[in-house]
Structure formats: C-alpha cells, structure tokens
C-alpha cells in the first residue's frame, strides 16, 4: 500500500527516534500541529504500520519498517553487521582530504567509542562527504545508512551532530545486539 507524503514523514520520524513516542512528540518533530498528526498515526495504526505498546505511546511495527523499504533483520544478518571488520574494511577517520588521523573503527561498537572522542571537524567532514553512510551500507545496514542520510539533510553541526550520530548508532547497535542474542 502506498503511503501519502505526510504518513511517510510521520512513519520516518517514528523510525528515526527508534523508541515509542507520544503523538504530541511526533507532531513536534514533524513540525505539524497535533490533530493532523494524530489522524495520520491512527491511519498508520489501522494499516498495521504502527502499534501502541503502552497507552498513549506509538511505535513502528515490522510492517512499518517494510513499508519504508527495510528488510527484516534476522540473527545471521545482525551477526554480520556487528562483526569486526579487517583493517582494510574498517572506517578510517580523516581530518580532511589527504589528512588521515590514524584512527579507525573496526565495528559499530568501536565506532560508538571513537565518535565520542574524534575531533568534531572530522565528524563534520565525513558527514558532509556521506562517508559514514557508505560505510554503514558496506556493513550491510541499509537502515543505519538511511538514518545518516537524514542526519546529513538535517544539517546538524558541532556537538549536536556528534550526539545525534552517537545516539543513533548506539541505539542501532543495541537493537542488533538483541537480535543477535535471541
């Protein structure tokens, strides 16, 4: 079933947050007033793309993820995404083009550790070039790559960019780790 642009925006906003949220929070993040957002949330619930895990909170379902074009992640895929990469496939941080920092991340967990310590100019450099997005795709994580695209489009800078990136990658790591251990 095709989603209207507003329903897609609401669903993507819920997906980006990665946790159940109140309709008022979703409306604020989407930038629309509460009544139309609530109407779309109810419509998405009827479509099976959103559920209410607890009263007043809404979360995206597996069907909602599929509607956004994301395949289901099974245990084997989670193991593959979370695996340590060899040096040549690790993420190598640069200060600028041709200026390597000799710092690299070998996994999503390692990336979370490094992103908190790396110079902010390096974070901005790689975000603007879409390097993080490409690396996440190479790890096999289309969802995380798409989240990076949305972060880039949001034009975050400085510490706000770092904290947003850290939070999204950490949440994704924890989500995949649960799937891996199931």
pLDDT digits (tens, 9 = 90+) for 40-81: 999 999 999 999 999 999 999 989 999 998 888 999 999 999
Total domains, the chain:
2
What does the alpha-carbon distance between residue 130 and residue 99 come to, in Å, rounded to a whole number? 17
Q: Do residue 85 and residue 18 come from a single domain?
A: no
Residue in 123, 142, 157, 119 with CA at minimum distance from that of residue 73: 142
Give me the mean pLDDT over the 21-35 stretch. 93
Residue 101 shares a structural domain with residue 47: no
Position 1 scores a pLDDT of 62
Are residues 93 and 173 both part of a single domain?
yes
Residues 30 and 51 grouped into a single domain = yes
Residue that is last in its domain, among 47, 67, 87: 67
47 and 126 together in one domain: no
Q: Model-level pTM?
A: 0.80
Which residue segment(s) compose the domain that 38 sits in?
5-67
């Amino acid at each position: 079933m095709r989603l209207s642009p507003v329903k897609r925006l609401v669903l993507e906003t819920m997906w980006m947050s990665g946790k159940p949220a109140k309709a008022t929070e979703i409306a604020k993040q989407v930038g629309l007033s509460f009544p139309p957002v609530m109407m779309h949330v109810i419509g998405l619930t009827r479509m099976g793309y959103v559920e209410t895990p607890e009263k007043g909170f809404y979360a995206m379902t597996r069907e909602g993820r599929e509607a956004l074009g994301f395949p289901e992640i099974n245990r084997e895929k989670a193991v593959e995404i979370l695996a340590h990469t060899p040096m040549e496939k690790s993420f190598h941080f640069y200060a600028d083009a041709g200026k390597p920092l000799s710092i690299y991340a070998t996994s999503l967990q390692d990336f979370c550790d490094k992103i908190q310590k790396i110079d902010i100019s390096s974070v901005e450099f790689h975000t603007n070039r879409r390097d993080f997005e490409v690396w996440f795709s190479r790890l096999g994580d289309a969802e995380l790559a798409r989240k990076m695209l949305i972060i880039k489009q949001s034009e975050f800078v400085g510490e706000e960019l770092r904290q947003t990136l850290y939070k999204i990658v950490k949440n994704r790591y924890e989500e995949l780790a649960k799937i891996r251990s199931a």
